[in-house]
Amino acid sequence: MPIVSPGFHGRARETRHKLPPGQYETADFPVLSAGPTPRVDLAEWEFTIRTETGARHSWNWEEFMALPSQTPTVDLHCVTKWSKFDTEWQGVSLDVLLEDVGTSAEYTLVHSYGDYSTNVPLEDLLDGQAWIAYRYDGEELPPEHGGPARLLIPHLYFWKSAKWVRGIQLLHEEERGFWEDIGYHDYGDPWREQRYQGD
Ligand SMILES: Nc1nc2c(c(=O)[nH]1)N[C@H]1C(S)=C(S)[C@@H](COP(=O)(O)O)O[C@H]1N2
Ligand SMILES: [Mo]
């Protein structure tokens, strides 16, 4: 019988592998909001993609709920250094939402109810990398975590996952969002530790 079981080694190795540089794992789900939590009435809620030519594609809540959804299990990495593993969500893939949107834009600015924004390259929203999520851990997404719906883009630092998302603007030239404008990185890859402009 080995002194240290292979199972223990396996789990330890996997945990290290999941943690980007400078991060620590937490079981908590901290709430990080730059302002007050907006209360968004589902009867008023709308999600809109606006193209670089001004064309608009909008869904109200009922239409949005009728779209095919997925249930991704993903790791979250916040720039304040906590990471949370294996979080379970339900949401609509951006592949579905962008399917019928004609665009030659390369950049996007994601907008929230309550005025938050964040910039993300269009290609990072595609190919199964991003969702508009409306359920977390088997429940409706709580308001403090971005309900009714938030962007979920787990391969970038969590500030890119705009809570209370209201729409996506397609752009030919990159425009900075809330945190990027005051010094956070334009892209924000946790594996390359892109926390601030210049990293
Ligand atoms: N609209 C909006 N979205 C936001 C934020 C915010 O302040 N407003 N904070 C961002 C940051 S810095 C992080 S780490 C995550 C935090 O999400 P949580 O509060 O669900 O943990 O949301 C991101 N999305
Ligand atoms: Mo964050």
Q: How does residue 148 score in pLDDT terms, banded at 50, 70 and 90?
A: very high
Assess whether pLDDT exceeds 60 at residue 149. yes
- Encoding tokens for residue 57? 């594609």
Q: Quick one: how far is CA 183 from the chain centroid?
A: 19
Report the distance separating Cα 50 and Cα 52, nearest Å. Answer: 7
Contact 50, 169 (CB under 8 A): yes
Identify residues whose C-beta is under 5 A from ligand 2, the ion. 32, 78-79, 158-159
- Residue 35 C-alpha to ligand 1 middle, in angstroms? 10
The atom number, within ligand 1, closest to the CA of 165 reads 1
- pLDDT > 60? residue 4: no
Percent over 70 (pLDDT), the chain: 92
Write down the pLDDT at residue 12: 56
Q: What is the mean pLDDT of the chain?
A: 94
Residue 167: pLDDT over 60 = yes
- Whole-number Å distance, alpha carbon 86 to ligand 1 midpoint, is 18
Give the single-character DSSP code of 143: G
User: The whole model's pTM is what?
Assistant: 0.94
Give the pLDDT score at 2: 45
Burial class (CB in 10 A: 0-12, 13-18, 19+), 23: buried
Render pLDDT for 63-86 as a digit per residue (tens, 0 to 9): 999 999 999 999 999 999 999 999
Q: What pLDDT band is residue 184 in, cutting at 50, 70 and 90?
A: very high
Phi, psi of 70 (to 5 degrees): -130, 165
* Among 89, 118, 159, residue to substitute to test ligand 1 (most atoms within 8 Å of Cβ): 159
> What tens digit of pLDDT does each residue of 92-135 get?
999 999 999 999 999 999 999 998 999 999 999 999 999 999 99
Would you state the pLDDT for residue 13? Answer: 52
Which domains can be identified in the chain, with CATH numbers? 46-176 (3.90.420.10)
